Structure 1
Amino acid sequence: MKYFLLFTFIFISSFSYSQKKGVFIADSDTAFSKSSDINMISCDEQQIKNLDLLCKVWGFVKYYHPSIAAGKYNWDNELFRFLPKYLAVKTNEERNDTLFSWINNLGPVSGKGNKIKIKSNTKCVPNLDWISDTTVFGSDLSNLLVNIKNTKRKKQHYYVSFLENIGNPVFKNERLYKDASFNDFGIRVLTVFRYYNIIEYFFPHKNVIGENWQDIPAEFIEKIILAENDFDVQKTILEMITRINDTQAKTNFNEAFSNEFYGRNYANYKISFIENYAVVSGYINPSLVAKNVDLQIGDIIMGIEGENTLKKVERLKNYSPASNDFSKLNVISQDLLRTNKRSLNITFVRNNKTSSSNVPCYPPSSLYTKKEISSSDIKPTWRFLTSEIGYIFLGTIENRDVPKMMRELRPTSGIIIDLRCVPSDFVVFSLSQYIHIQKTAFAKFSKTNIQNPGEFTFTKPVYAPKIKHPYNGKIVILVNELTQDLAEYTAMSLGSTSTATIIGSTTSGANGNVSDVILPWGISTSFSGVGVYYPDGKETQRVGVTIDEIIRPSLSGFLFGRDEALEKAVQIIKNK
């Protein structure tokens, strides 16, 4: 399920943010709304180098030139008008002269009034050294680009705004091209241009992607040009999105692609990866369990339709956006048993014996049916494991119940807080105040700005509050790969008290408010739009929250029904 969690007391989707639309010249430029009129692009080495260069120049000008910011030009359309001339250049000198003439005609720039200053709260500055490379651009074009960088910019921009009081970017006025042909080569390269530059200037975690993002355009321009059909085009886009390594990079492709790539039907199993094995850990819809043919909880899936499970996992990794390996396996587990057939042949191990079975598969409408939820189906928010140990499950928490819950748990010597879930309410401050003996800094954020896109600065630290007479027992917090976004932020807050211990396995490593991205053909995605860090600047993206003791589930423990992290938490409270 797609949701957006904000680190205030409100939840807002960046798509729900609206701004009164002004009248811009760019709005009246309705050309190319269905086609770029570019039906072929050659794919020789020099052409790819030129397009790679154009991608970066186009994006830099889009976000840095005052005329584009003021909405004087529809920048997609200007690309489509410019491309035929650019694709025909024969030499580097001709290329640079063509670029210079195009950009210079956008209007004069002062080259003054804006100088990036490194301050005490600067996290990083834009990586714009490349525009000064006269060996690539020549002196005239390079000087023009540098002047654009140094020109003072207003706080408003036609293509970007920032969510008030939050700071994550909101991308606007981007054309959808929903009905365009996938054989439109202008729109193909525009897709790479648009996504690359949004990440280049507005993704706060470019430094931990794991590779040089500026190497990306050439690779994917070539791939998207060579794509043979609409399926290959969308597969290329999905691969590019996956490369930012962000679990919050959710994607929405058209149904035909999703069905062809993953399959429209699902086997009725929840899958968990334990010691790198795909293990049946539950049923999506227990009412559909077929006793004679279904797998059992604890079965280890070794093969799917004749393909080794681990090989299929490796194949899906390039197309499963996630921040780290643990989170990626969790993402893959949701698509591992999909097919367009009515059944899947599964090879599995049960009680050390290898068997196979054709298991039924169902469309989502049959599998994910609504049902009446009884009180026995809901996991209680708090309970007593023993008279001395309390347990809180934040997947069903409500703010209004926090005071009562903490009154009842106050006599205990320790409380276990289970964050292996999506918190059902925002209790970052309301619960933290009961366990902190002093006001404590636990996080800070980073944000960019429209004056210098790509420059990120740290905010002041955020503090966990305290009450006059806080709980004085031990706190043990349980986390795993399901601990994502708000759950990670909550763990940072609760874990900052001196009486807390965080145990479990690596969290999702995707923490921060979500920004949405619209791409051509109606494809959409998102990314973590605000950086979240510990007060000393330590990263949480990809690495997750700091864990005091790693406790990963073992296969033997799972088969015997043990919760090894919970067992360890009890031992910590008992001083064992």
Structure 2
Amino acid sequence: MRYFFTTALCALSMGVALAQQPSSTDFNLNFEKTLIADKLPAPWMEWGKGYKFSPDTTEKYQGKASLRIQSPEVMDNIQFGSAANPLPADYSGKEIELRGYMKFRDVGKGFAGLMMRIDGKSGMLQFNNMQGENLRGTQDWKQYSIKLPYPSGADKIYIGALLVGPGTLWVDQFELLIDGKPFTEAPPKKIYAAELDKEFDGGSKLALGPGYKLSKEQATSLAQLGRIWGFVKYHHPAVANGNFNMDYELFRVAAPYIAAKNDTERQQVIGQWLSKFGPIRELSPEAIPADAVIKPDLAWLAKSGDALPPRLDSIRRAARTDEHYYIASYIDVGNPEFKNENPYAEMAYPDAGFRLLSLFRYWNMIEYFFPYKPLIHEDWQAVLEEFVPRFVTAANETEYKLAALALITRVKDSHANLNGNHEALDKYFGQNFAPVQLSFIEGKPVVIDYFNAQLGKQTGLKPGDVIETINGKGVKQIIAEKKPYTPGSNPVIQLKTMAPNLLRSNDSTIAITFKRAGKVQKANISVYPRSKVNTYANYNKKDTCFKMIGQDVAYIFPGKFKNSYLPALAPQIGKSKGLIVDMRCYPSDFMVFSFGPMLLPEAKPFAKFTVGNFKTPGVFTWTPELKLGKTNPDHYKGKVIVIVNENSVSQSEFTTMAFAAAPNVTVIGSTTAGADGDISHIVLPGGLRTSISGIGVYYPDGRETQRIGIVPQVEVKPTIQGIADGRDEPLEKALQLIHGK
């Protein structure tokens, strides 16, 4: 439910963890060194584009100079400028704090802020850029601070400052502290034995892939290997202690396992491999709670052969501590943090062993740590067997990424997709995009807007036009072809995700037929690269967060709303007859506990969660109910209408759940995205990045929101005619309900 801008040396015996020596401490946090006009002093670097960075020896907090960040005169397609300093995460601790002095002038339509980002091997772990502070206007020198949990899996720390939109920002005298002390005085981080295993850095050495036959028996046995490997990864205490690089352990066991001639030999290979992890010294008295929402599916352990079941069962019952090298939970939330997972980003097309690792890594993360696994509604073990040959025999980068995308789609989670731009997939699906925005209205792809007004009008298409065929293919056929590669919690969201990808091609034009006012017409429309067509151009598109509709109806658009605006807006809202909250967007600030309490006369539960138990992988239990509000005789007493649709996802859905707890709130509109819960990030070999919903979100009575979404009390959908006429039919219905019509 959260984010903003996004980017050994000697052999040791197993079980030894060494102190890692910190890197150079000459980080130039006060901008006093290497002052060159119009350039960032080393080791600072530029993020964003178009902004001017320069030392300023006149305007400074103290010392010789500060750093000035100046916006460009023309802001077209320029979003932000940031000075960032990369620091090694060579230190250990629980909390990290960035302090720095800032002065800014004429900052408008954006904000100024300090920035801190903490990355692990698997990607970004923590981030804050003070966007929620809404620092604008003009402010003299003042010290600001950011505090974040300091993850044990941190690999790199980025600190700095950024300016969004027009204005000038000066920064000076940065300090970085860990647990309240200068970071260079913090205890050094440990190096684990797993991090010193370099044997397969050059490749997996597995004889698999294109050119090697893979029988059905081999695919089934490899799926069984992946299941056992993942079980050991998340259950064995020696792995939890960081003693083993489980990526490379897969390659070690896979080679003789693949060479084995029969099941007996394969079991012997597994048995020998298990021996290297050492004996289980202590069993856990913990039992799976009877009221667990999800319980692990481990019945297969007893069917894993003649000699293996007792050994695997002892691993299942092993005592485990709260610390695990590969898995943790985010503080205060509980969603899984997948730690120390190497993305192998340098491998655009990983070899067959690493592709198999990709499948096994993802499959087991879902198996043990996805709170909505039962809602996949298919045999997850069968999915593993199905995808083994697809990953192993993928002949090139495109086939590998398509296999990964198809696997992610099977999870049925709107938070799950293959993130980032991938040139190979762009070439497969089409590198050029039409400048018109489509949405599925009445089950048909309809033009609703332009991504680029000038280019969009040149197509001749208008809002309300219905696309019938694309390059000779009917829309139904295209949907069927794209659906296996289009993640989404429900079919409505799959169509929403698919819409901007219908009119794309590697050619410069697309031949279409479309229907306007009942008449089918033909057209050849031009398509353009991403540099000219931004398919996110209309995201959260509104010119204001608040307005009055007529004299007595207040309108809030959370996509532009900030909590800091509420004191000024509350008196106007309080005088209104009715309030419309247009949640067809993603909130730009977390409104639940700021705006929400003004709607309720007393505290009321509105949600409860399920979280995983990392000592017992696969178990999910309830948290206490979450309540909103307090005794409030001055609560808002007018009618409140919350409008939702397929653009309402995650935080939008959670906020709607909270507001709907109020007695005078009516939710109208159509199916939401059906993906709720803070996201957890996943990386896979080849630098692939994806996410899942990391906690389960339910109503207090246990009703589900995932896949179903927020069900409106009054269903109102746009019509094709309404789009053609430029009407907002859900908004019209909201006004009618407020006025009692």
Q: Same fold (TM over 0.5)?
A: yes
**Who is 1:538 aligned against?**
703
**Who is 2:342 aligned against?**
175
Q: Does 1:344 align with 2:513?
A: no
Alignment of 1:130-141 (within 5 A): 130-133=300-303, 136-138=304-306, 140-141=307-308
1:252, 1:525 within 8 Å by CA — same for their partners in 2? yes
Q: Distance in 1 between matches of 2:242 and 2:434?
A: 50
- 1:127 pairs, out of 288, 297, 301, with 297
> Displacement, 1:438?
1.1
- 1:101 pairs, out of 272, 285, 305, with 272
Aligned partner of residue 575 in structure 1, secondary structure: coil
Alignment of 1:107-256 (within 5 A): 107-110=278-281, 112-120=283-291, 122-133=292-303, 136-138=304-306, 140-180=307-347, 182=349, 184-252=351-419, 255-256=422-423
Question: In percent, how many aligned pairs have the same letter?
Answer: 36
Q: Distance in 2 between matches of 1:16 and 1:75?
A: 21
> Displacement, 1:96?
1.7
> Displacement, 1:186?
1.1
**Who is 2:521 aligned against?**
355
Q: Does 1:332 align with 2:498?
A: yes
Aligned partner of residue 207 in structure 2, secondary structure: coil
Q: Distance in 1 between matches of 2:275 and 2:230?
A: 15
**Who is 1:511 aligned against?**
676
Q: Distance in 1 between matches of 2:487 and 2:4?
A: 17
Q: Distance in 2 between matches of 1:152 and 1:26?
A: 21
Q: Distance in 1 between matches of 2:579 and 2:636?
A: 10
399-408 vs 193-202, which moves further: 399-408
Q: Distance in 1 between matches of 2:627 and 2:665?
A: 16
Q: Does 1:317 align with 2:487?
A: no
169-178 vs 12-21, which moves further: 12-21
**Who is 1:79 aligned against?**
250
- 1:298 pairs, out of 464, 470, 486, with 464
Q: Distance in 1 between matches of 2:708 and 2:489?
A: 8
435-444 vs 356-365, which moves further: 356-365
Give the letter for the 1:84 counterpart. Answer: A
CA gap 1:313/1:260 in 2 versus in 1, 3 angstroms? same
2:322, 2:615 within 8 Å by CA — same for their partners in 1? yes
Q: Distance in 2 between matches of 1:147 and 1:367?
A: 57
> Displacement, 1:475?
1.1
Aligned partner of residue 515 in structure 1, secondary structure: strand
Give the letter for the 2:691 counterpart. Answer: S
**Who is 2:112 aligned against?**
none
CA gap 1:162/1:440 in 2 versus in 1, 3 angstroms? same
Q: 1:5-53: per-residue Cα shift (whole Å, max 9, x none)?
A: 9xxxx99998233426421111110111231011325311211111111
CA gap 1:77/1:383 in 2 versus in 1, 3 angstroms? same
Q: Distance in 2 between matches of 1:514 and 1:395?
A: 19
> Displacement, 1:366?
2.1
> Displacement, 1:290?
4.5
Q: Distance in 1 between matches of 2:594 and 2:385?
A: 49
CA gap 1:342/1:212 in 2 versus in 1, 3 angstroms? same
2:352, 2:393 within 8 Å by CA — same for their partners in 1? no
- 1:400 pairs, out of 558, 561, 564, with 564
Aligned partner of residue 190 in structure 2, secondary structure: coil
Q: Distance in 2 between matches of 1:54 and 1:318?
A: 26
**Who is 2:590 aligned against?**
426
Q: Distance in 2 between matches of 1:11 and 1:543?
A: 36
> Displacement, 1:461?
1.3
Give the letter for the 1:529 counterpart. Answer: G
Give the letter for the 1:93 counterpart. Answer: T
Task: Indicate the structure (1 or 2) with the bigger Cα radius of gyration.
Answer: 2
Q: What's the TM-score once normalised by structure 2's chain length? A: 0.73
Q: Distance in 1 between matches of 2:536 and 2:592?
A: 31
Q: 1:128-174: per-residue Cα shift (whole Å, max 9, x none)?
A: 121122xx422x20011111111110111111122111211121222
Q: Distance in 1 between matches of 2:633 and 2:195?
A: 57
**Who is 1:374 aligned against?**
none
Q: Distance in 2 between matches of 1:42 and 1:67?
A: 35
Give the letter for the 2:639 counterpart. Answer: K
Alignment of 1:29-44 (within 5 A): 29-40=197-208, 42-44=213-215
Aligned partner of residue 501 in structure 2, secondary structure: coil
**Who is 1:265 aligned against?**
432
**Who is 1:551 aligned against?**
716
Aligned partner of residue 520 in structure 2, secondary structure: strand
Give the letter for the 1:355 counterpart. Answer: Q
- 2:611 pairs, out of 430, 447, 463, with 447
> Displacement, 1:350?
1.4
Aligned partner of residue 624 in structure 2, secondary structure: coil
> Displacement, 1:370?
12
Aligned partner of residue 581 in structure 2, secondary structure: strand
1:348, 1:356 within 8 Å by CA — same for their partners in 2? yes
2:223, 2:385 within 8 Å by CA — same for their partners in 1? yes
Give the letter for the 1:309 counterpart. Answer: V
2:398, 2:425 within 8 Å by CA — same for their partners in 1? no
> Displacement, 1:564?
2.2
Aligned partner of residue 556 in structure 1, secondary structure: helix
**Who is 2:19 aligned against?**
none
Aligned partner of residue 279 in structure 1, secondary structure: strand
Q: Which one scores higher on RCO, CA 8 angstroms, separation ≥ 6?
A: 1
**Who is 2:125 aligned against?**
16
CA gap 1:271/1:181 in 2 versus in 1, 3 angstroms? closer
Runs of 5+ unmatched residues, structure 1: 372-376
**Who is 1:409 aligned against?**
573
Give the letter for the 1:105 counterpart. Answer: K
Q: Distance in 1 between matches of 2:509 and 2:486?
A: 23
Give the letter for the 1:251 counterpart. Answer: L
**Who is 2:453 aligned against?**
286
Q: Distance in 2 between matches of 1:346 and 1:520?
A: 38
Q: Distance in 1 between matches of 2:205 and 2:676?
A: 41
- 1:436 pairs, out of 587, 593, 600, with 600
CA gap 1:370/1:75 in 2 versus in 1, 3 angstroms? closer
> Displacement, 1:345?
1.4
Aligned partner of residue 76 in structure 1, secondary structure: helix
1:111, 1:149 within 8 Å by CA — same for their partners in 2? no
Alignment of 1:32-71 (within 5 A): 32-40=200-208, 42-71=213-242
More strand by share: 2
Q: Distance in 1 between matches of 2:721 and 2:348?
A: 52
Q: Distance in 1 between matches of 2:563 and 2:327?
A: 34
Q: 1:65-98: per-residue Cα shift (whole Å, max 9, x none)?
A: 0111111111111111111210122222222222
- 2:263 pairs, out of 68, 92, 104, with 92
Give the letter for the 1:191 counterpart. Answer: S
> Displacement, 1:262?
2.0
Q: Distance in 2 between matches of 1:365 and 1:504?
A: 34
Q: Distance in 1 between matches of 2:462 and 2:634?
A: 49
Give the letter for the 2:315 counterpart. Answer: I
> Displacement, 1:408?
0.6
Q: Distance in 2 between matches of 1:240 and 1:38?
A: 22
CA gap 1:296/1:254 in 2 versus in 1, 3 angstroms? closer
Q: What's the TM-score once normalised by structure 1's chain length? A: 0.93
> Displacement, 1:181?
6.9
